[in-house]
Amino acid sequence: MKDLGLHEDEEEPEDVGPPEHVRRLDPDRSVTPTALLKDALVDDDDPRFPRWLPLPGVALALGWAGFIAAAAGADFLEAVVWPGAGIFALTTVATWLGWQLELE
């Protein structure tokens, strides 16, 4: 019998397969940027939209409105409505994508 260097009290190493994101890829499906993005999104027990997620967008929108009101003399509430709404939306989407992407 061939000695594999294992002793009686040692267990055989488990067969380590490919990472989860590779196992989720369907070999029959073509690899497109959309398929890669869908496969990279987190698919576990993490919440999809945590409560803290809008906070960076709110902070940037209010900060920008305050800066514009102080520097240019614009109305604070008008600056919160626009471009504050756009800043909030873009920052929240970017934060959500960063939260959901599975970076290894």
For residue 43, being part of any structural domain is answered with yes
Tell whether 13 is covered by a domain. Answer: no
- Which pairs with CB-CB distance under 8 Å and at least 24 residues apart come from 68-71? none
CA distance 57 to 41: 21
Q: Look up the domain containing 66 and give its range.
A: 20-100
- Classified as helix, coil or strand, 2 is coil
Q: How many domains does the chain have?
A: 1
For residue 41, give the 3-state DSSP assignment: strand
- Distance in angstroms between the alpha carbons of the first and the last residue of the chain: 41
Checking if the pLDDT of 104 tops 70, the result is: no
| Residues 49-70 pLDDT 10s | 778 889 999 999 999 999 999 9
In a domain, 14, yes or no: no
Name the token pair of 33. Answer: 């940027």
Residue in the structure block whose two tokens are 């902070």: 59
The partner residues of 101 in beta bridges, in order of sequence, read 41
Report which of residues 56 and 44 the model is more confident about: 56
Q: Give the pLDDT confidence of 1-29 residue by residue, as tens digits.
A: 555 555 556 565 565 655 555 555 556 65
Rg of the chain over CA atoms, in angstroms? 24
Name residue, tokens 């920008």. 64
Grade residue 84 by pLDDT with cuts at 50, 70 and 90.
very high
